[in-house]
A and B are shown apart, each in its own frame.
Chain A
Amino acid sequence: DAGVIQSPRHEVTEMGQEVTLRCKPISGHNSLFWYRQTMMRGLELLIYFNNNVPIDDSGMPEDRFSAKMPNASFSTLKIQPSEPRDSAVYFCASSWGQVRPQETQYFGPGTRLLVL
């Protein structure tokens, strides 16, 4: 299995630009999570989906952030417009959560975002 795939791995952009982060979960997994890691706040949940449906987006910082999961094999996290304080590592994780609720989450390699 290829594991969770994220792209791009690194992104450098200027303030005000639109940024789109992409995630392909492990095949067969039905839950997908977006986390953000910063020095100040550590690892925090942004949003998660079960069966492509957003369940909890209370961690999304503000309206500049949006996430979609159009099908079971693809999700995007979009920031528009981006700001320097959005600079962080963004992780996508997936898991199998119905028949085996004890299944753990497997993380992608992360996208390191720098907004200048």
Chain B
Amino acid sequence: AQTVTQSQPEMSVQEAETVTLSCTYDTSESDYYLFWYKQPPSRQMILVIRQEAYKQQNATENRFSVNFQKAAKSFSLKISDSQLGDAAMYFCAYMLGSGNTPLVFGKGTRLSVIA
């Protein structure tokens, strides 16, 4: 079974600074996708970024980028120029690439942004 581990229950960052959230996963599959979801206090699950395992290039979305290390099974999220609105729970998630299958989530990292 696939597992996702987020080793940082809580993180904090100063406004305008950069922070990196860690995620590791365990799978024997070669075709899969990885995601970061953001959950603000409203509890809405918002997709931040996704990465296809077959792509070597790291995904970026504006201030958000990932460091995908397939051999190490590592998938970290970097948030640049942190803003107060970035404060939320962040979940790393894994999905098999074939067919339409469920997401497997990590336990989450709570990010605080300090003004």
- A contact set with B: CB distance below 8 Å: 30-31, 33, 35, 42-45, 48, 50, 56, 89, 91, 93, 95, 97-98, 101-107, 109-110, 112
B68 nearest CB across to chain A (Å): 15
**Which of A48, A89, A104, A106 contacts B102 (CB under 8 A)?**
A48
A34 nearest CB across to chain B (Å): 10
Q: Does B64 contact A (CB under 8 A)?
A: no
Complex contacts, B100 vs chain A, CB 8 Å? 30-31, 50, 95, 97-98, 101, 103
Instruction: Judge whether A43 and B52 touch: CB under 8 Å.
Output: no
B3 nearest CB across to chain A (Å): 12
- B contact set with A: CB distance below 8 Å: 33, 35, 37, 42-47, 50, 52, 91, 95, 97-108
Complex contacts, B97 vs chain A, CB 8 Å? 101-102
Complex contacts, B98 vs chain A, CB 8 Å? 101
A95 nearest CB across to chain B (Å): 6
A-B contact pairs, 11 of them (CB 8 A): A35-B102, A45-B104, A48-B101, A56-B102, A89-B43, A102-B33, A102-B52, A104-B35, A104-B95, A110-B45, A112-B43
Instruction: Judge whether B108 and A104 touch: CB under 8 Å.
Output: no
Complex contacts, B44 vs chain A, CB 8 Å? 107, 109-110
Complex contacts, A97 vs chain B, CB 8 Å? 99-100
